[in-house]
Each structure stands twice: as C-alpha cells, then as structure tokens.
Amino acid sequence: MKNKKLIFASLLLAAALALSACGGKNQEPTPTPIDPNLVAQQAIQTFAMGLTMTAFAQPTATATLTPVPTNTSAPTFVVLGTTPTAVPTLSCNNAIWVQDITVPDGTPMAPGQAFTKTWLFKNVGTCTWTPTFKIAFAGIGIPMGGQPTPIGKTVAPNEQIQISVSLVAPTTSGDVESRWKLQDDSGNWFGETVWVRIKVAGPTPTEAEPTATSGP
C-alpha cells in the first residue's frame, strides 16, 4: 500500500513538472525581416492615393475669358422711304434778321405818310459784303414807293449792320405789308426776307396803288 502511494505521488510530481515546462514563461515571437522593396512600393502607393484624394476633394477652377470690347461706332438707322438729312454747309453770302429798329409791326400811318423802315441784319455767311450790296423789294405786298437801296458799308462775316429804306404809306386804308430782301452785286438774292407792316387809317381814295406780283 505504501508503494502504491509512492508511485502515485511520483506520477503527480512528474505531471506537474511537465505542465510547468509547457505552461511556463511565454516565448517572444521571432521578428520577421522587413523587405526594403516592399516598403518603397507601399510608400509610392500611399503617395499616389493622396494625390487622387486631393484631386477629388478640390475641383479645378475653370478660367473665364472676358471678351475685349471693340471700339466700333454705332450704326446709323434711316427710316425706309426717307432721305438722310444732309449736313448744312456755310454759304458765301447769307444774312439773318436780328430785330426791327424802326416802325414795329402794326404801326398806324396816315394815308400818304412818308417814313423810314430800318432793320438790323447780321452777316452769317463766309464772304464780306461790299457797300454796293443792296436791299430791294422782294415782290410780296406793295413796294410803297421804296427803291433798291445800297447798304453803304463793308460788312465782314459775323458783323451786324442797320439797313434802311424810304417808304410812303399808301392812300388806301387798312393793313399793308411790304417784303424786302438783300441782293449781291450780281443781283442774286440771299439771306432772310424781312417786311414792314403798317395800319393805314383814313379815307379810301378813288384809285388804289397796284399790288406788285414780281419777286425773287
């Protein structure tokens, strides 16, 4: 009996020693050597992946080209069926009326009354008027005894001049008009037409002064 206990104890000790040898301190794993080529390949793949992610994360801006305006003149439109208005050109001899100096329109006159009508003109042409230029009856109304009258002085462009004509009121009563205009040395009419308008009050004569019909 004693031997059996001894044998059993020996077996238990042997089992304990075996378990101690197997379950003792854990052994550290043997490190695996690193392949340099594999490391380089993984680094290249990581860099390429980073570029791809950056391209998707930040869209590429598209440059917008701004057209350069061209210096072109605006087109001129002409209504169909019309003629474009020509640009007026300055003429050699031209005159405009500025104002009446004497005998305003509607001035009352006695039949046969003599008077002097004076107008103020301005030379708006490009040529100088000579003293022999004259003012003459333009054929509208009645001349009232007036005669072609030289202007009597030289008038340069942009200068003004008072021009007068001697007239006689007709013997007929009523409103009377007489129109006058300037002439050059060749008898050519130019400038604005002017007039004198009076109101004759008095008895009606047996014979009225005829009305002139000729003119420029």
CATH number, position 156: 2.60.40
pLDDT score for 202: 73
What are the CA-CA distances from residue 6 to residues 12, 14, 124, 150, 181 (Å)? 10, 12, 158, 177, 170
In-domain check, residue 27: no
DSSP 52: H
In-domain check, residue 18: no
**Structural domain count of the chain:** 1
In-domain check, residue 100: yes
pLDDT score for 72: 42
Please list the ranges in the chain whose pLDDT falls under 70.
Answer: 1-89, 203-216
In-domain check, residue 141: yes
In-domain check, residue 211: no
In-domain check, residue 160: yes
In-domain check, residue 205: no
pLDDT score for 113: 97
pLDDT score for 22: 47
| Assessment of whether the complete model's pTM goes beyond 0.75 | no
Per-residue DSSP letters for 12-40?
Answer: HHHHHHHHHHHSSSPPPPPPPPPPHHHHH
Please answer whether residues 182 and 134 qualify as being in contact, where contact means their C-beta atoms are separated by less than 8 angstroms: yes
What is the torsion angle, in degrees rounded to the nearest 10, for the CA atoms of residue 153, residue 154, residue 160 and residue 164? 30
Residue 216 tokens, joined: 């420029």
Q: How many whole angstroms separate alpha carbon 180 and alpha carbon 169? A: 16
In-domain check, residue 122: yes
pLDDT score for 26: 47
**Domain limits at 157?**
95-106+113-168+179-194
